[in-house]
Amino acid sequence: MRQDQEDPYQRRSAQVYAAADRAGSGSVASPRHVLYDAVLLDRDGTLIEDVPYNGDPEKVRPVPGARAALDRLRAAGLRLAVVTNQSGLARGYFTGEQMRAVHARVEELLGRFDAWLVCPHDDADGCDCRKPAPGLVYAAARELGTTPSRCVLVGDIGRDVGAAMAAGAAGVLVPTPVTRPEEVAAAGWVATDLPAAVAEILRRQQAVQPSNPPTEPVRTALVVRSDSAGDVLVTGPAIRAVAAGAERVVLLCGPRGRAAAKLLPGVDEIIEHPLPWIDPAPGPVDPDAMRSLSARLGAVGADQAVVFTSFHQSALPLALLLRMAGIDRIAAISDDYPGALLDIRHRVPVGVPEPERALSLAAAAGHRLPDGDEPVLRLRRDAVPSRPADLGDPGYVVLHPGSAASSRACPPEVATRIVGALADAGHRVLVTGGPDERAVTARVAAAGGTDLGGRTDLAGLAAIVADASAVVVGNTGPAHLAAAAGVPVVSLFAPTVPFGQWGPYRVPTVRLGDAAAPCRDTRAASCPVPGHPCLSGVDPGDVVDALRTLAVSGGGGR
């Protein structure tokens, strides 16, 4: 399922109050942006001060700087919608008429919104639209003529961010005194106030617009992404952007990233070589190997090199090899002073999703995605095989308990209980893992799933993931395969690296696990805390609930 093609909530009976007189306003032409078409805003505590169950227009007080911030978004051509839970309607604390008077006052003070989406229900109603359910986000995107993945939602509590993520939209948390610390810890994107959230939305939009366009056409571009499969997959949109501006693209990757590199559209040729300043368990530096790598890179004849790295890696050692290979246009992200090693030294603030971080480097090197290509992860169709026929119909749930870094793996006993809970809820569960994870997958699958441990390579796993109704997985490669297939993710995310950078990108997601655990931001490969508490506390019932939030039902449907 691609999230931009199918909207599971379209088939449902979510009751959404929309501004009927403004239906179709989404057809208004606006400038084409790479990342977002629309900004969705929570009402109480985000746009205006939270006055519980307010039915009185006189009590409407905008938050500081709201009008100017919203006008900046309007001026940039972004459409605006309000998405708000108003359970006071269900509880009879105010009438629909009073609410409309409040909204008229909000527009008087803050300007016009292109749509208003209101959930009138209470938690007890079990509706699809009360945040953190994603129904309002789907409805707003539809009303504005776009898709959730091209929306960013700004809100003040975890419910807002949860609704955004469950629809595949971006979510910005602007905490207030009532925001709970665990909600702040779990959010991938936090801003200090509404004007700051708006400034960062506009900065990210601008950062992926090309600057420094090459003065001569690029015949051969050398792009570099070392490290593992997930790193290579999240660089895919940036590599497609470079490919759109170059006749030929050669990718230098490491041995652990090669299988993923073969799945990427836009790559014409792959060079595989380990880089001892990138690999997590490097051998000693071999001068002959470095000399031969430099010669091999020189033979590529690249007229531009774009070196992609993670925020904790350095591009500079490779830049030196590229200089020695005679490449004279080199772009990379570097906080460290690069001297004469880089022609384009790009810098990115922390917290930006890895795919956007890489896209912004491609933009700094003069490249952007071609029209019609969305900034989502994608795989080459011809590189993904057919799914084994013996797995039955699509619509199963994939549980992938392992990870190359044990700190990011789901503890086997937790995975076992998750399989049991999913099976009890009527889900068909396939348990996947690499050849070295067979003992774990066998044990986990014994609780009620099918063991596929060691049965597939990465491309085969991509085929299995593509026909899943959801994937339950930690922060590891298959999460990005799911994102590339548009398959919803229940992310058992160990907070060793920032969720905002490494969470599944532009795909409906529910995050589980303790985001404030002591391993947070340690980048540890093996868990530094006894008991692996960030994931050992995951409640299997929460995984079942997460699938419900993602509109994935048991029995193979979605």
Positions marked active-site:
42, 44
Q: Which residue from 4, 7, 6, 2 is spatially nearest to 128, judged by alpha carbons?
A: 7
Among residues 121 and 400, whose Cβ is nearest to Zn ion? Answer: 121
SS3 521: coil
Q: Residue 129 CB, nearest distance to Zn ion (Å)?
A: 3
Among residues 119 and 260, whose Cβ is nearest to Zn ion? Answer: 119
Q: Which residue from 224, 247, 264, 252 is spatially nearest to 459, judged by alpha carbons?
A: 264
Among residues 118 and 527, whose Cβ is nearest to Zn ion? Answer: 118
Q: Which residue from 406, 506, 477 is spatially nearest to 188, judged by alpha carbons?
A: 506
Among residues 139 and 398, whose Cβ is nearest to Zn ion? Answer: 139
249 forms beta bridges with: 221
Do you know the residue count of the chain? 558
Q: Residue 32 CB, nearest distance to Zn ion (Å)?
A: 33
Q: Which residue from 271, 59, 264, 45 is spatially nearest to 155, judged by alpha carbons?
A: 45
Among residues 83 and 191, whose Cβ is nearest to Zn ion? Answer: 83
The token pair at 382 is 């011809």
The residues, any chain, with a CB within 8 Å of residue 242's CB and separated by 6 or more, are 221, 223, 249, 266, 306, 362, 365, 367
Q: Which residue from 418, 398, 460, 467 is spatially nearest to 435, judged by alpha carbons?
A: 460
**H-helix or E-strand spanning residue 173:** strand 170-173
485 forms beta bridges with: none
Among residues 121 and 417, whose Cβ is nearest to Zn ion? Answer: 121
The token pair at 48 is 């205006």
Q: Which residue from 437, 441, 444, 487 is spatially nearest to 462, judged by alpha carbons?
A: 487
Q: Residue 103 CB, nearest distance to Zn ion (Å)?
A: 17
Is there a contact between 189 and 171 (Cβ–Cβ < 8 Å)?
A: yes
**Which DSSP letter does residue 504 get?**
P
Is there a contact between 341 and 321 (Cβ–Cβ < 8 Å)?
A: no
Q: Residue 193 CB, nearest distance to Zn ion (Å)?
A: 28
Among residues 121 and 378, whose Cβ is nearest to Zn ion? Answer: 121
Cα separation of 102 and 194, whole Å? 20
SS3 83: strand
Q: Residue 427 CB, nearest distance to Zn ion (Å)?
A: 25
Q: Residue 133 CB, nearest distance to Zn ion (Å)?
A: 7
Cα separation of 312 and 323, whole Å? 22
Among residues 127 and 140, whose Cβ is nearest to Zn ion? Answer: 127
Which positions lie near Zn ion, rule CB under 5 A?
119, 121, 127, 129-130
Q: Which residue has the tokens 């991938």?
A: 188
Is there a contact between 44 and 51 (Cβ–Cβ < 8 Å)?
A: yes
Q: Residue 125 CB, nearest distance to Zn ion (Å)?
A: 6
Burial class (CB in 10 A: 0-12, 13-18, 19+), 413: exposed
Among residues 130 and 367, whose Cβ is nearest to Zn ion? Answer: 130
Cα separation of 226 and 222, whole Å? 13
> How many H-runs (helices) and E-runs (strands) does the chain carry?
20, 17
Q: Residue 131 CB, nearest distance to Zn ion (Å)?
A: 9
Q: Residue 127 CB, nearest distance to Zn ion (Å)?
A: 3
